[in-house]
Amino acid sequence: AAALVAGATAFLTNIFVARIMPPAVQQYQGIMVIAGTGGALVGTLLFWVAWAGVFFVLTLFFQGKGSFRRTLAVTGYGYLPMVIGSAVSLAIFWVFSPGIRVAPVTSMEEIQSAVAALTHHPVMILSGILGIIFLLWAANIWIFGIRYARGLTLRNAAITVGVPVALYVIFVVWSLGGPA
């Protein structure tokens, strides 16, 4: 479900971005949309496995017991809040994207500034903030899931989940606050 919502978001975003690109790039709009949508679908699934892998490896430091398959399952359960958050972000983008004004790009050199302007638009920043909120909700589920899936104490499960989630949140906040 998370991959499908991410794919829909990527589809909509890539169509929007393709409209502001120069004609030389617009002729590849179909490829951009397919690649972006496919990348979001596959990327979401890879992120799921990556989160589970990180949690599994970190639990080894706490003598965690239990299978990777179980860790993968509880990590998947934790994706439910992110599905909801992604759907909310998609709805917000759908409603407010007609009001997003980014100057059309006339040359390849202007692409970076146009993408930066789009990335730092309030709608996109709101989407990033919502993503963090729903990730923290997912982390709460992951803590309890990892606790039982790997036989850890609540403290050790919180460390296992909290460290990578905190690093990811720092990265996202840094990305949102970068130069416009």
pLDDT tens digits, one per residue of 136-155: 999 999 999 999 999 999 99
Mean pLDDT, rounded, for 59-86: 92
How many whole angstroms from its chain centre is CA 35?
A: 16
pLDDT tens digits for range 35-50:
888 888 888 889 999 9
Mean pLDDT, rounded, for 92-101: 72
- Which pTM value belongs to this model? 0.78
- Using pLDDT thresholds of 50, 70 and 90, give the confidence band for residue 180: very low
pLDDT at residue 9, rounded to an integer: 78
* E strands, the chain, in order: none
Picking from 5, 152, 132, the residue whose alpha carbon sits closest to that of residue 74 is 152
Residue type for position 48: W
| Cα atoms in the 13 Å half-sphere on the side-chain side of 74 | 23
Between residues 42 and 123, the one the model is more confident about? 42
Percent of the chain with pLDDT over 90: 39
pLDDT tens digits for range 2-39:
788 888 877 877 777 777 776 666 677 778 778 888 88
pLDDT at residue 60, rounded to an integer: 95
Mean pLDDT, rounded, for 58-81: 94
